[in-house]
Amino acid sequence: MHDIKYIRENFENFKKKISKRNNTTNVDNILSLDKKNRQLIQEKENLEKEKKDISKSKDEKMFQKSKEISNKIKQLSDEQLIAKTELQNLLSAIPNIPNDDVPEGKDENSNKVIETKGKIKPKNFKEKSHYELGENLGMLDFDLATKTTGSRFVFVKDKLAMMERALSNFMLDVHTSTNGYKEISPPLMASESTMYGTGQLPKFENDQFEIKLDVNDDRKFLIPTAEVILTNVVKNQIVKLTDLPLRLVASTPCFRKEAGSYGKDTKGMIRQHQFYKVELVSIVENTKCLEELERMTNCATMILDKLELPYRKIILCTGDMGFSAEKTYDIEVWLPSENKYREISSCSSCGTFQARRMNSRYKNTKNENVFTGTLNGSGLAVGRTLIAVMENYQEEDGSITIPNVLRPYMNNLEKISAISG
């Protein structure tokens, strides 16, 4: 959510910055709606003062006027509520303002590579895709998932299921023991207000899975990422300054309709309706967001360093960032079968954008209540990390060598081979 006072005082600058975000919402109506809302509030307050003065009078003739004023106040209140709602709806549909150092551009073609790390090791045989490897091993079953559930689902079996679990546990151990995050096991459903707080609603409602627990129950949604539920732990709170930074991590299933991805990545596990992800969330002083973004991104790349997987770090342009982000780094891992890098993590600073929607504040050193800064990042997407390990550690016979750091999590197993029999 945006600060209406800032917009009022810096409208042309605000409009210019938002135009870089591929924003489709008409921002020109903001000032007129804001003016109308404030005028109605002022008129209502003037009438309330007049009514209060009349109440002190003993003149019976004034009672009728008081009644008329009450009716007028009711009318103005209804009109003001409509104007306020229209203004709030407009503001809630506008993405965050990009930070000044974010490159300008319309789409992914304007993203910039910041760093490339890890050595791509060519094989002396034709490398298979993860789904070919998994099906040949008898440990990825897409047909069974289609039969039981539908498309974009998979059964992960046997040693690959063990590796998926090992990856999640390994990531959690690194982030809690080395990187200073506190592990949370959160609910996998979020309320409508919680989804609004992080920016999934109302604009991206069609991407979400809604759950009806009861006809009379409030709306609930399966979480598209643990970012939603972890960030909202400070919703409607004044956080103690001494409790910041608050760094949280969770490994959860995530659920997405992938409504805009028809025809993309139809084979394999790259784009699924359900997948596991280890999510990092930081709640910080709002002056320290960009500093925390660098730290969080380093925490995510540490996992790839330890797994010895080649990757690159990218800064997203203004047109490719997520709705709530002011600055985003994507981390892309090398996939041999595609001969290119694919996204495995996205780390974003949201500034105070989400905090305003959640009403999350803290008392600064001047004892002022100010909005918190929020950040989120994948540390990492577990399914895509499984894909990267399978493809980069494959052998000519179709087996998969297990990375050294994962072996203690897999009973010291060194290699995954086809299921016998």
- For the chain, which residues make up each domain, given as ranges? 4-92, 108-416
Tell me the per-residue pLDDT of 230-279, one tens digit each, with 9 for 90 and over: 999 999 999 999 999 999 999 999 999 976 556 677 789 999 999 999 99
Bridge partners of 311, per DSSP, are 117, 333
Q: Which residues contact 65 (CB under 8 A, 6 or more apart)?
A: 54
pLDDT at residue 420, as a whole number? 54
Q: What pairs with residue 370 in β-bridges?
A: 362
Instruction: Mean pLDDT check: name the lowest of 62-76, 96-110, 140-154, 399-413.
Output: 62-76
Both tokens of 112, joined, read 């910039």
Starting at the edge strand found earlier in the chain, the sheet holding 340-349 runs 112-117, 311-315, 327-335, 340-349, 373-381, 274-284, 246-255, 182-183
- Tell me what the mean pLDDT of segment 285-303 comes to: 98
Is 60 exceeded by the pLDDT of residue 225? Answer: yes
> What is the average pLDDT score of the chain?
94
Per the CB < 8 A criterion, the answer to whether 195 and 357 are in contact is no
Pairwise CA distance, residues 377 & 35, whole Å: 38
Would you state the structure tokens that stand for residue 178, as one six-digit string? 């080395």
Amino acid sitting at position 69:
I
Q: What is the pTM of this model?
A: 0.93
Quickly name the fold that domain 108-416 has: BirA Bifunctional Protein; domain 2 (3.30.930)
HSE-CB for 236 with a 13 A CA cutoff: 3
pLDDT of residue 356: 97
- % of the chain at pLDDT higher than 70: 96
pLDDT by residue (tens digit) across 15-35?
999 999 988 888 989 999 999
How far is it, in rounded angstroms, from Cα 412 to Cα 406?
8
Assign domain 4-92 to its CATH architecture.
Orthogonal Bundle (1.10)
pLDDT of residue 153: 95
What whole-number distance in Å separates Cα of residue 28 and Cα of residue 10?
A: 13
Cβ atoms within 10 Å, residue 149: 13
Strand ranges (E), 89-204: 112-117, 140-141, 155-156, 182-183, 189-191
**SS3 at position 330:** strand
φ/ψ of residue 71, rounded to 5: -65, -40
Residue 324 CB partners (closer than 8 Å, separation 6+): 95, 96, 198, 199, 348, 350, 353, 354
Give the model confidence (pLDDT) of 183-211 as tens digits: 999 999 999 999 999 999 988 898 999 99
- Cβ(277)–Cβ(353) under 8 Å? no
